[in-house]
Amino acid sequence: MELRQLRTFDAVVAHRTVTEAAHALGLAPSSVSDQIRVLERSLGVALFDRGPAGMRLTPAGERLRGWAGRLLGLAEQARREVTETAAVLRLGALESIAAAYVPGVLARLAERRPGLRVEISSDASRDELLDAVAAGELEAALLLDTGAGLGSLGFAPPAAPLDFLDLEPVPLALVAAPGHRLAGAARVVPADLTRERLLLNGPACSFRMAAERVIGPEVERVRAGSVTVMSSWAERDLGIALVPEFAVGDRLAAGALVRLAFEAPALSLRLVWRSDREGLPGLRDVLYAGALTGSGPTS
């Protein structure tokens, strides 16, 4: 059993197919298949059930998955310590989260581990960030979710041993132009919104998923774009938008937008990582720094 075989096994688990794993590793699919077969022969057990839907782990494969993550993590730690290279930890975050919350995490990390270098990836979608964590391309990612399990907001996490920590609530605000007909209402309920145009981002957007959960189906949906675009359109009375408070605090304070008296449950700022890679250098420091986020930005 060799480390390169474990890396290939880990990639197939994360990407679910030989073709996708080969693409991620920069190998030919035949090379990936050969390494998996050699690994299975060396262990004397089948690690995957092969079918039209892709590669599914057998019970033996499930047992190896945890060991593979730990062994690969230890190998990387040994490499870094032997070569005396500075520890680099790769953290992913959605762009809006990277702007609002990551600076505080980095500041606390600098106090706790001055020698730790952190690389931030903020140009990917939530699903891409989760796939990167599952594949070991990122050590952890910050995203928005809700509920007791990963993906309770309405997305499907990858098949990997992912763990998470909820850092703090992220309040949402239903905003509109100052002259909106509901601007002075003491309370707004879904039935009051039936004549409105709800401004949305793409289907995978966390704020869109949150809006779909709390606003009735009778409201007209209009795809606008990012939170910035949604807020700008709402200012011009082109519709209403459910957005994070931290993204519109300045506009609310300036009177360019008003917050409607609509109750929307807050989302959670969630830090996600692979539980079998917690021994990687710096990862526990990120967990510690994230857990001390405090109240977060308010504007």
Among 16-25, 116-125, 146-155, top mean pLDDT goes to: 146-155
In a domain, 13, yes or no: yes
DSSP one-letter code for 215: S
My answer on whether 94 and 233 are in the same domain is no
User: SS3 for 264?
Assistant: coil
My answer on whether 151 and 274 are in the same domain is yes
Distance of CA 149 to the CA centre of its chain: 13
Does residue 97 or residue 173 have the better pLDDT?
Answer: 173
What per-residue confidence (pLDDT) applies to 298?
Answer: 32
What per-residue confidence (pLDDT) applies to 96?
Answer: 84
What per-residue confidence (pLDDT) applies to 130?
Answer: 94
The domain total for the chain is 3
Amino acid at 234: A
- C-alpha distance from residue 251 to each of 24, 108, 264, 295 (Å): 42, 29, 19, 20
Among the three residues 82, 116, 145, which one is the final residue of a domain in this structure? 82
First CA to last CA distance, the chain: 53
Does residue 123 or residue 188 have the better pLDDT?
Answer: 188
My answer on whether 25 and 50 are in the same domain is yes
In a domain, 298, yes or no: no
In the predicted model, what is the mean pLDDT of residues 233-247? Answer: 95
What per-residue confidence (pLDDT) applies to 299?
Answer: 29
CB burial class (10 A; 0-12, 13-18, 19+) of residue 257? Answer: buried
Q: Is residue 295 scored above 50 in pLDDT?
A: no
In a domain, 299, yes or no: no
Amino acid at 147: G
My answer on whether 181 and 261 are in the same domain is yes
The whole-angstrom separation of Cα 15 and Cα 54 is 10
Q: Is residue 14 scored above 90 in pLDDT?
A: no
What per-residue confidence (pLDDT) applies to 296?
Answer: 40
Neighbours of 294 (CB within 10 A): 9
The whole-angstrom separation of Cα 117 and Cα 107 is 12
My answer on whether 129 and 110 are in the same domain is yes
What per-residue confidence (pLDDT) applies to 84?
Answer: 52
In a domain, 258, yes or no: yes
What residues form DSSP beta bridges with 53?
none
- C-alpha distance from residue 18 to each of 77, 145, 205, 282 (Å): 27, 30, 29, 31
My answer on whether 200 and 257 are in the same domain is yes
Global confidence as pTM: 0.69
Q: Provide the domain limits for residue 245.
A: 172-265
My answer on whether 98 and 45 are in the same domain is no
Question: Taking each helix axis from N to C terminus, what angle separates 29-43 and 3-15, rounded to the nearest 10 degrees?
Answer: 110
The whole-angstrom separation of Cα 228 and Cα 22 is 37
Among the three residues 32, 61, 82, which one is the final residue of a domain in this structure? 82
Only one residue has tokens 């952890």, namely: 140
What per-residue confidence (pLDDT) applies to 210?
Answer: 93
In the predicted model, what is the mean pLDDT of residues 202-222? Answer: 90
My answer on whether 66 and 104 are in the same domain is no
Q: Is residue 77 scored above 80 in pLDDT?
A: no
Rg of the chain, C-alpha, whole Å: 22
In a domain, 296, yes or no: no
In the predicted model, what is the mean pLDDT of residues 233-255? Answer: 95
Contact 32, 13 (CB under 8 A): no
In the predicted model, what is the mean pLDDT of residues 171-189? Answer: 96
Q: What is the CATH number of the domain that holds 253?
A: 3.40.190.10
In the predicted model, what is the mean pLDDT of residues 62-72? Answer: 88
**pLDDT band for position 114 (50/70/90)?**
confident
In a domain, 149, yes or no: yes
My answer on whether 47 and 126 are in the same domain is no
**The two structure tokens encoding residue 118:** 């952190």
Does residue 52 or residue 257 have the better pLDDT?
Answer: 257
In the predicted model, what is the mean pLDDT of residues 200-226? Answer: 90
pLDDT in tens, 23-57: 888 889 999 999 999 999 999 999 999 887 778 89
CB burial class (10 A; 0-12, 13-18, 19+) of residue 181? Answer: exposed
Among the three residues 34, 59, 82, which one is the final residue of a domain in this structure? 82
What residues form DSSP beta bridges with 197?
220
